[in-house]
Structure 1
Amino acid sequence: MRSDYTWIYPSHTAKADNAKEDSAYRRLYLGIRQAILDGRLHPGEKLPASRDLAKSLGVSRNTVVTSFDLLVSEGYLETRIGAGSFVASSLPDREMTATATHEALDPTRKATRPARLSQSATRMLAYDRRFPRFRVARPFNPATPDLDAFPFDLWARLLRRSWRAPALDLTIPVDPLGMPALRDEVAKWLRQSRGVKCDADQVMIVSGAQQALDLIARALVDPGDVIATEDPGYEGIRGVLAASGATLLPIPVDGEGLQVHQLGKGAPARIVVTTPSRNYPLGTTLSLARRLALLQWADTHDAWIVEDDYDSDYRYDGPPLSSLQGLDRQNRVLYVGTFSRVLFPGIRLGYLVLPPALIPVFRGMRGFADGVPAPTAQAALAAFFAEGHFGGHVRKMRLSYGERRAHLRELIETRASDILQVLPSDGGLHLCARLLTAKDDVDVQERMVHAQLDCRALSSYYHDKSEENRGNLPQGLVLGFAGWKKNVISQSFDELINLVRRT
């Protein structure tokens, strides 16, 4: 047996990842474990008695005993009655252990072979979003609401209230579709504000529109099926749907919205995903004639329509438009919405309104997914609705966002009409402006990132972004206005225009 074991006890000043690892027994445990793994302690080697090792290292005997017990429970040490503690004899070969350990402990070392991914993950990652990511939202991000205007103090009170005397369905949620109180409030709001034909039984609470789309694809799509999507459209939609193994069919959008007649070309689509109230990002609205044509097409081809109604509460040129789902007589429309844009992104709650025939299907599938989103936030949001705060917040923000939208539009028209042209739109949290000069909008976006501005390149929302097709894509900027006061918008716009002119 060796006479000196001080080398197995890392220095007290050695850097630790957290306070737990910095405790005496934890440092000793890690030191012995590492010595075993890298071969400095050999299989079958006897360790000193706990009292002797404690004296040698200058620690308490309890520290050594606790470390030994943990190492025994994990299989690094074994005890023999009357003989003491030994390095486990069944450990792998020393060279193999040392090599594997050094590779595992070196985070900078590249993997010797790539991770083997599923086809689903590969298809999804092919649509990796090509947008800048800032730790804090920067001016012109098109998805950022005004977080300063949200009543977080009230929200905190509602969260606390829900836990003072929690109902049974809050502590043990049993309905995979979500809390009944919130589903009832959502159904009432959608009937009143959007003309959606539904009751609470048809409403499923989800953790956002992306989860709704994922569940829809799992339930209704087989590999090889065709899913029609708007072109341009939201990149996140394509990634979720592609994971199902479906073939994505981009359908052009013009001044009347989705070109429904294009659905007749090629194999019939199993699902059509559309934003009839406001295309993202162009802002065009699906005309009534095309809405009726789309519903007729879905009925004729036994297809489904997914209506993504992402921010229709914010329409500034009149009341919110009636939903496509409200015109549906054959129950072919699944209606998707989110609270991330209306309230705040971190709420991670949305809803899916299901045709009656699909309710048992989605209830059953949900039990094998996440069960149900966080009940606490659901309870608070139900109260936020029931006490009138939701409607009041939407009305207040509609006025505020309308002023900011008008301000940004005026800035473009008075300071940059020679290089930007605002595209028609009646609502939303952003404006879309076409570049009038021969500039590459992706290059402009990259320059904006360095200036801490988060405008988006219009061309990046189109399906075919290949080098061969880049010259055919409209060039423009997607400019969010909701999250910033008018003085910030003015200052940031001056920076943006100076950069565009220099690009």
Structure 2
Amino acid sequence: MREVILSEFLLQKLERNGTVSLARQLYDTLRQLILSGDLRAGTKLPASRVLSKETGLSRNTVLGAYEQLQSEGYVVSTTGSGTFVSDTVPSLPVRDAGRTDAAAVVPPHLALSRRGAELVRNAQASSMQWGAFTPGVPDVSLFPHEVWSRLLRRRWRKTDPGLLTYSHGPGYLPLRTALAQHLRLARSVDCEPDQVVVTNGIHQSLSLISVLLGDGNEVAWIENPAYWGARTVLKANGIRVLPIDVDDEGMAPSEEQMQTPPRFMFVTPSHQYPLGTVMSLSRRRMLLEYAHRNNIWIIEDDYDSEFRFDGRPIASLQGLDSNDRVIYLGTFSKTLFPGLRLGFMVLPKVLSAHFGTGLSELYREGRLIDQAVLADFMNDGHYAAHIRRMRAQYARRQALLRDAILEHFGADWPISTHEAGLHLVMHLPEGADDVGIVLVARSLGIAVRPLSRYYAGGGGRPGLIFGYACVPDDAIGPVFQKLVPAIMPALEHLRRSRQQQPRRPSSNMINEGAWSGA
């Protein structure tokens, strides 16, 4: 909605002599435009001075309405950039012009549950799933689709009816056999094919774990910060999520927290998401022993362990477990392509048969022909070759992005560890508005994620999460250059406000002089 049109619309809606204050009327009108979808996420609202002039309202009236919208999360204001509609508000369908207000009211029996309403209200899945700098997405354009097509055609020619019906049990045995062999060699996972269960990905794996191993209101410890999807799935399945802060060695529960053991622990030990740190051996052994003593299930998400660029490979936590307390999760979304929707679990033997039954009972699985093609792809050596090629590609792209950040913000600017992964974190000073920067980036067609939103309650350390894997080499520098003007104003504002009382950043991962490059 253009500024001129918005101003004209407001002039028609506002009642100058009404009993409701003009600030409240302006707030109500803008709020309804946001909820109806007329003002979409990322839309920049007119500056308060501009709107004041065009509507004849006082600037204090406009500022009062904007401040109320911001306090309730409908908009985000960024110093030097403006006020933007927040992307945390779900887009709702525009009501038909002929419908009355009474017809638009949802009957109580059709309203969302409390759990459903919370899920929708706090949804973090982005509509931008490709392009610079979408985190967690591989370069699907480099997938060997001709090889895959040939293998698929070969499977179709065999026309095995058993591959075209429902799947029953843990998945296609040749794929589980290939997976077990690969995991033993590449990740030091101690497993046999009968311990592997093929799923639709991490979300389905977590959902099945929650249902089969958790009763209502049980607790899961989860790293803080952590992948938002893990929190969402666990909570949607009735598990209470308790965030546990991480330090340089990984998940770090306090002595007080350890007095009340949870049912589950969700960890990313080989490459903490999103900070990128590696869990130390001593911390791994402590958590394993604690889980053994208290009958806790450790859920190990090994989400991008195949892409390690520096140093020796980090063995899985499951490979250290001698007491069958670890459930190992993996996916092909990062190594192949997300649209494949195939993942897997490695379970203790005592659980594997039950999970195969539960998978069939709850989800009526299929995709057997895709599983057969993937088994052929792995057995013929294409999977290992593709990972080798992409590992070199992603290492180069990470280096290009690091160079771009340091060129503009100084050689000491704090960035997450560089050894592995498909993303990196550009840390920001305490108090920086990473959400506002992300909204400005979105208006430029650039997808970055705010680090603070990965902390429980959204109040964590600020930073920007960049995915570099799906960005061509020659685009990384120019696209980042386009983003720099969105970052600079927030940093300049902070630096000016701190001239009287300089403050240290809160994390020991960020050094004292790092911010001088802004």
1:494 aligned onto 2:478 = no
Instruction: Give ranges in structure 1 of 5+ residues lacking alignment.
Output: 1-102
What displacement does 1:107 show? 12
1:291-337 Cα distance to aligned partner (Å, 9 max, x none) = 00000000000110000011100010134311000000010000000
Q: Distance in 1 between matches of 2:133 and 2:289?
A: 39
1:121 aligned onto 2:116 = yes
Q: Distance in 2 between matches of 1:124 and 1:304?
A: 25
Q: Give the 3 Å change call, closer, same or farther, for CA 326–261 of structure 1 in structure 2.
A: farther
Among 101, 104, 128, which residue is 1:110 paired with?
104
Q: Give the 3 Å change call, closer, same or farther, for CA 293–260 of structure 1 in structure 2.
A: farther
Q: Distance in 2 between matches of 1:227 and 1:191?
A: 28
1:145 aligned onto 2:132 = no
1:333 aligned onto 2:326 = yes
What displacement does 1:420 show? 4.5
Q: Distance in 1 between matches of 2:366 and 2:217?
A: 31
What displacement does 1:455 show? 0.8
1:368 partner SS? helix
Report the number of matched residues: 394
2:439 partner SS? helix
Given that 2:167 and 2:366 are in contact with CA atoms closer than 8 Å, whether structure 1 keeps it comes out as no
1:347-384 Cα distance to aligned partner (Å, 9 max, x none) = 00000111111112212212211222411211111111
Alignment match, 2:246: 253
TM-score by length of 2: 0.72
1:411-444 Cα distance to aligned partner (Å, 9 max, x none) = 1122222894212241100111111475200000
Among 311, 320, 324, which residue is 2:317 paired with?
324
Q: Distance in 2 between matches of 1:320 and 1:117?
A: 46
Q: Distance in 2 between matches of 1:365 and 1:437?
A: 46
Q: Distance in 2 between matches of 1:359 and 1:122?
A: 34
Given that 1:207 and 1:373 are in contact with CA atoms closer than 8 Å, whether structure 2 keeps it comes out as no
Matches for 1:226-237 after TM superposition, within 5 Å: 226-237=219-230
Structure number with larger C-alpha Rg? 1
Q: Give the 3 Å change call, closer, same or farther, for CA 453–326 of structure 1 in structure 2.
A: same
Q: Distance in 2 between matches of 1:438 and 1:311?
A: 30
Q: Distance in 2 between matches of 1:420 and 1:496?
A: 16
Q: Distance in 1 between matches of 2:347 and 2:276?
A: 25
Alignment match, 1:484: 471
1:98-139 Cα distance to aligned partner (Å, 9 max, x none) = xxxxx9x9799624425233455345445421x5422x6120
Among 344, 359, 364, which residue is 2:352 paired with?
359
TM-score by length of 1: 0.74
2:464 partner SS? strand
Given that 2:165 and 2:366 are in contact with CA atoms closer than 8 Å, whether structure 1 keeps it comes out as no
Among 306, 309, 313, which residue is 2:302 paired with?
309
Given that 1:132 and 1:449 are in contact with CA atoms closer than 8 Å, whether structure 2 keeps it comes out as no
1:228 partner SS? strand
1:133 aligned onto 2:131 = no
Please tell me the residue identity of whatever aligns with 1:241: L
1:217 aligned onto 2:210 = yes
What displacement does 1:260 show? 4.2
2:445 partner SS? coil
Among 290, 294, 307, which residue is 1:297 paired with?
290
1:432 partner SS? strand
Given that 2:201 and 2:343 are in contact with CA atoms closer than 8 Å, whether structure 1 keeps it comes out as yes
What displacement does 1:480 show? 0.8
Matches for 1:81-480 after TM superposition, within 5 Å: 110-113=104-107, 115-118=110-113, 120-122=115-117, 124-125=119-120, 127-129=122-124, 132-134=126-128, 137-261=130-254, 264-265=257-258, 267-417=260-410, 420-436=413-429, 438-465=431-458, 470=459, 473-480=460-467
Please tell me the residue identity of whatever aligns with 2:355: F
2:471 partner SS? coil
Please tell me the residue identity of whatever aligns with 1:178: G
Given that 2:227 and 2:274 are in contact with CA atoms closer than 8 Å, whether structure 1 keeps it comes out as yes
Given that 2:297 and 2:325 are in contact with CA atoms closer than 8 Å, whether structure 1 keeps it comes out as yes
Q: Distance in 2 between matches of 1:262 and 1:411?
A: 42
What displacement does 1:174 show? 4.9
RMSD across aligned positions (CA): 2.4
What displacement does 1:175 show? 3.5
Alignment match, 1:72: none
Q: Give the 3 Å change call, closer, same or farther, for CA 424–171 of structure 1 in structure 2.
A: closer
2:424 partner SS? strand
1:178-231 Cα distance to aligned partner (Å, 9 max, x none) = 101111111111001000001110101000110000000001111121110000
Q: Distance in 2 between matches of 1:163 and 1:290?
A: 49
What displacement does 1:484 show? 1.1
1:465-498 Cα distance to aligned partner (Å, 9 max, x none) = 2xxxx4xx21111011110122111111101112
Given that 2:430 and 2:462 are in contact with CA atoms closer than 8 Å, whether structure 1 keeps it comes out as no
2:277 partner SS? coil
What displacement does 1:244 show? 2.2
Q: Distance in 1 between matches of 2:205 and 2:339?
A: 17
2:461 partner SS? coil
Q: Distance in 2 between matches of 1:437 and 1:486?
A: 31
Tell me which moved more, 322-331 or 253-262.
Answer: 253-262
Q: Distance in 2 between matches of 1:263 and 1:409?
A: 39
Please tell me the residue identity of whatever aligns with 1:113: P
Q: Distance in 2 between matches of 1:346 and 1:169?
A: 23
Q: Distance in 2 between matches of 1:429 and 1:337?
A: 15
Q: Distance in 2 between matches of 1:438 and 1:170?
A: 55
Please tell me the residue identity of whatever aligns with 1:374: R
Alignment match, 1:63: none
Instruction: Give ranges in structure 2 of 5+ residues lacking alignment.
Output: 1-95, 491-518
